[in-house]
Structure 1
Amino acid sequence: MGDHKEQPLRVGAAVRRRRRALELTLAVVAERSGLSVPFLSQVENERARPSRPSLERIADALGTTAVELLAAADPACSVDVLRADDEEVAPGDARVRALVRGHHQLHAMEFIGDHDGGRESQHRNDELMYVVDGAVEVEAEGRAYRLGRGDALYLSGGVRHRWRATEPETRVVVVAVADHIEAVENPSGRR
């Protein structure tokens, strides 16, 4: 299943994310890079692929490097199958497996075993925890929650939390909006 690694990268999304994070307009990037606004727009919308020299000019205008933009690029493939025995990491009492490979807008992990997230964490974006099997205790914003098989817990971005498995061989799936994604307000003013 390594086919996804041979796919071309979509660097336009990385360019757009970086530009928006810096709160720059296409016109400012065009002026700094010496490239046209229409060309930059086509790059961001994946309708044009910049040459290496053009990508370096764009990167300079965004205060980064072409290598960094390529590292943040999304694979062009839209389907990737991860088999049950693929890419398990951290063997031992607790095992962790990435369910989404690569650099994407969605981050998902499966935790199996005696996970004890003793240290408190806080993520930039929203997160969903689903208990596939077993049970967990979650402490979030000073409250304790007990979750069993089939239960789910939603945490909005910025909520401080920690969790631990309370039964052996507990399986938990955590799905989150990736940290490199900037959450935007919707028209109602809520995230």
Structure 2
Amino acid sequence: MLRAADILCALSGLVLASPVLLVLLIAGYVDTRAPLFRQQRVGAGETPFMLTKFRTMKPDTRHVPTHEADAAAITPLGRFLRKSKLDELPQLWNVLAGDMSIVGPRPCLPSQTQLIEARRARGVFNARPGITGLGQISGVDMSTPEKLAELDQQMLGSLTLASYCRYILLTMTGKGSGDRVRDKMQ
């Protein structure tokens, strides 16, 4: 049932957002000359996949978890994309491909071993990773791996079509702050 909802939401989102996607692709090209960002992430069953997002940081930024990245690497367009969460729109293609769900635990980098261990211990990798979830709307990011894995497990244990729709609605209305980025002074 939730996979059908994923496909319906992803297709609808891509069709409805196609003008926005086009404008953001052009703006991203002007901003960095490389509007899309692809990065290997850990998916269901700990299988790696390539996640696609709009680029929010300078192209030469190190591939590290967001909370370890330098805030100075975020472009002006990137700040807007992160705040509005529009940087996530290209992940709808990942949902259609079956690598992700709309709602699920945010996919981590293979280098985030502490989070991987915490999620493995809680059975979180039995589900597809998602664009949004309980951690995101609660303001908990990957800088607190144990807490995030607990919330992932809690969300997956009680995920219904109603809660799935609730997570999407809360995300679209601005609930949650996204992953923290290191301040320049740190």
* TM-score of the aligned structures, taking structure 2 as reference length: 0.23
Bigger strand share: 1
Of structures 1 and 2, the one scoring higher in RCO (CA 8 A, sep 6+) is: 2
Bigger helix share: 2
* TM-score of the aligned structures, taking structure 1 as reference length: 0.22
